[in-house]
Structure 1
């Protein structure tokens, strides 16, 4: 009997040691697969250089070329959010000069529709330059626009309906009634509030952001509908429609927002919890290729790579690890795979492909499809991955 007990305990000890060895080996393999900082830098620089060299004409963009060329708009704004972060992370004076040149060309103004989130995102790079150079005068045009909004708060419904006074817009877009807006506007408002010390900006963010969450966040799926039109829609396979880039906008916007909120602000925790809920869902939807599908709950609908949503999600996951909100051992493999996918979509010249074109829902993507916001997403991802 004693002999049996002896062998039982020996066997149990061997099993435990084997498990610990396998776990340690698995963690070592995960760390070993983490992209080398030099290779990430080389890829990101090639992509940034290609894009900056192709800002004169946009005939390589398959759709919405007129929107792409708008210097104050959201497409260029998203690019410069990523470029600015990459410039500051790598201390690249060349890229920092490019960000400053954009601000000077725009005379540090937001877009013409100052009430529209899409025309506000460009000012996030202005705020970064203002902080880096300690020149808050650069924020004045955006502050003026935001003060006008605060003085005339919109109270309309978040239901999506065409606006007859603004072609292509919706009446609700004086508020954040589409999930993309949570990337475009809240970080800008919060950044200006942080730099000026005016609490009214973050108060506004908190109220309007919560209204959007209440309306568009699916509590069961932990994902955002793009806008009210999709709340009851289903795709051809009967699945709920959760757009990859739409959720990428939200997920990448949360780190940018959280960085502006003081650590002791009691409101901060709810944004962290939203970020963690989305992260836990998103890693279950990543494909073996490293990409997230354009239609998050139906990878068969458009079974091809998509780099803009993947870039934003990879950035968010890496940021979460770096800032202690996501366990490294659980989320690092998804970051590694996400970057592997992104890097595979960059050709020898530095052009990023497989970027879904401007839209509001999952759509067909072609290998040569590129867009400025896709580059911005990749640069955001690179800026956090080299810190790993």
Structure 2
């Protein structure tokens, strides 16, 4: 992927990647001269003394960067429907989910609304050149539908899913071709699989396609010894960079490995815990994390070509920020060992030199390599670096959602747990939980879900979805327990919030499904011979052996000779508790 000027590059890229470098450089220069939205200092030395105010650990770079993006390009509709803008908007979406800032939400929504008409027919924007990069902006569609319940976003997402399944060119073994005939690029797994996983989380359809693409790309691009991905693979081996035997490109490109690492992480987050191929994907993610940590430079960053000490190799911002996010997030989700968080923290600290504030108050991100084709070592190190490149900004936004200044994000859920007691099968009982923001910052609830063994017997009737609470505000969430069988039932109400240190608040739920079980002993009586005018009495014991109250509404005698019998005691309506 990673190509901003696709039409020009298609002329040369397959056979002459060095010539492509010249074309990209010239086009980038022209773009910089005429751009109204990119404000770059005169050089790219990362020395901020001439441009920036001193950084402090209390600066909320997530909001500062998001605000700068919105100020520099006030109309998000000015961005084109392409991979770069799609990646940037997904970074902004992460910023919204973390902060609950409505300006960020509207900014992203405005971008999507330009391309998604009211009927959801998005075909015109994706069915051009059959290029998988055009799927990238659609990553936001499933979650935007969940946030708004506007059907056009779901319709559009379904059209994109159909486009991927039926229209995108593939290799002979079903892998999605990236940009040129019969070539696989590792970038594809991010541009396509993240969308498919998000779509599947919403609809249940798409998991298998996402996993299939990750695994078929792994089969062609993965180096098990180094635990890293090559950038490209050419099916017929005719590309200038292709190894004559393996058909693989020769280098472990940094950002390409970043795309793969985050894509696998996203799919794991969406995949059901009992999916039969989850273990295979998790093992790949863990192995890749190990390779990434081994490639980290001693001072914390990662180079544009990983595990290569030749001259000219440079530390690259977007890949480094991607790795930091993936390692930190992977650890917080329990996927990775503790060493991954330490490596992430080290990388984050080193990236402090790549962000700052200009004299006009605008935030910059430096050191991101521009659009990159597949090539050899000299090609990669020849790619220029820039300030405020969209995918570098996006990676920084995602990373900073996990590294905000020490905040006072606090949440109180009352009650903190609930035992519904004994509920008769077929009936139900509801409990209201009050969610309150007891901190000083906006509390953003990104999702409320029920999990656990018996989650299907509990349901959220009010308060499901995402919402933001300002200081002191509350929101009621009502959960109903409706057992469908007898026995003890457990579930958890999981409230996902914008606190990296405690992303999920868990409220334990329990209850017992029960049915009354009447036992009458003895089952019958034979009164024997009774003289006319005399009587004989017999007793019956009625016992509730179930777990629910037994309500007796009436006791009656029926049958042909009912008039010859009479109830002398114990008749009438009454309630028998269990036992």
Q: Same fold (TM over 0.5)?
A: yes
Q: What corresponds to 2:415 in structure 1?
A: none
Matched, 1:283 2:293: yes
Equivalent in the alignment of 1:258: 268
Residue 149 and residue 323 in structure 1: after superposition, are their counterparts in 2 closer, same or farther (change >3 A)? closer
Is 1:376 aligned to residue 394 of structure 2? Answer: yes
Distance 1:357 1:152, change over 3 A: closer
Q: Tell me: higher relative CO, structure 1 or 2? Use CA pairs within 8 A at least 6 residues apart.
A: 1
Counterpart secondary structure, 1:384: coil
TM-score with structure 1 setting the length? 0.75
Matched, 1:91 2:104: no
Instruction: Indicate the residue corresponding to 1:19 in structure 2.
Output: none
Query: In the alignment, what sits opposite 1:144?
Result: 159
Superimposed CA distance per residue, residues 192-251 of structure 1 (whole angstroms, 9 cap, x where no aligned partner): 122123x3x222222232211111111211111111155539xxxxx9511000101111
Contact 1:51-1:372 within 8 A present in 2 as well: no
C-alpha change, 1:179 and 1:155, in structure 2 (3 Å) is: closer
Give CA deviations for 1:349-373 in whole Å, capped at 9, x if unaligned.
Answer: 3110000010135234666443101
Instruction: Judge conservation of contact 2:95–2:397 (CA < 8 Å) in 1.
Output: yes
Q: d(CA) in 2 for partners of 1:132 and 1:155?
A: 33
Is 1:232 matched with 2:250? Answer: no
Q: Distance in 2 between matches of 1:220 and 1:40?
A: 41
Q: Cα distance, 1:41 vs. partner?
A: 6.4
**2:227 counterpart residue number:** 222
Deviations 1:292-345 (A, max 9, x none): 0011011444343310101111110011111001122x1222111211222211
- Given the two structures, how large is their TM-score scaled by the length of structure 2? 0.52
Deviation at 1:86, TM superposition (A): 1.7
Per the alignment, do residues 313 and 319 of structure 1 end up closer, same or farther by CA in structure 2, a change over 3 Å counting? same
Matched, 1:78 2:91: no
CA contact (8 A) 1:179 1:224 kept: yes
Q: 1:52 and 1:115 mapped to 2: Cα distance?
A: 31
Counterpart pick for 1:187 among 194, 202, 210: 194
Q: Give the deviation of 1:102 after TM superposition.
A: 1.1
Separation of aligned partners in 2, 1:135 and 1:347: 38
Indicate the residue corresponding to 2:65 in structure 1: 47
Pairing of 1:10-29 with structure 2 (within 5 A): none
Q: Distance in 1 between matches of 2:58 and 2:195?
A: 27
Which structure's residues are more often strand, by fraction? 2
Q: 1:341 aligns with which of 334, 337, 350?
A: 350
In structure 2, what is the equivalent of residue 323 of structure 1? 333
Task: Check whether the contact 1:41–1:382 (CA below 8 A) recurs between aligned residues.
Answer: no
Task: Indicate if the aligned counterparts of 1:159 and 1:228 stay in contact, CA closer than 8 A.
Answer: no
**Superposed, which structure 2 residues align to 1:164-203 within 5 Å?**
169-172=179-182, 177-197=184-204, 199=205, 201-203=206-208
Q: Is the 8 A contact 1:293 1:302 kept in 2?
A: no
- Match of residue 369 from structure 2: 356
Cα distance in 1 between the residues matched to 2:315 and 2:164 = 39
Partner of 1:245: 255
- 129 and 304 in structure 1: CA distance in 2 versus 1, 3 angstrom threshold: same
Q: How many residues get paired? A: 324
Aligned to 2:341: 332
Over alpha carbons, which structure has the higher Rg?
2
More helix by share: 1
Q: RMSD over aligned Cα, in angstroms?
A: 2.9
Contact 1:43–1:343 (8 Å) recurs in 2: no
Task: Measure, in 1, the Cα distance between the counterparts of 2:148 and 2:58.
Answer: 28
Deviant stretches of 4+, over 6 Å: none
Structure 1 residue corresponding to 2:139, chosen from 124, 130, 134: 124
Q: Which moved more, 1:141-150 or 1:89-98?
A: 141-150
**Which residue pairs with 1:24 in the alignment?**
none
| Alpha-carbon spacing, 1:289–1:46, altered in 2? closer, same or farther (3 Å) | farther
SS of structure 2 residue aligned to 1:348: strand
Partner residue in 2 for 1:17: none
Seen in structure 2, the aligned counterparts of structure 1 residues 340 and 231 have a Cα distance that, compared at 3 Å, is farther
Aligned to 1:212: 217
* CA 88–112 in structure 1, closer or farther in 2 if over 3 Å, else same: same
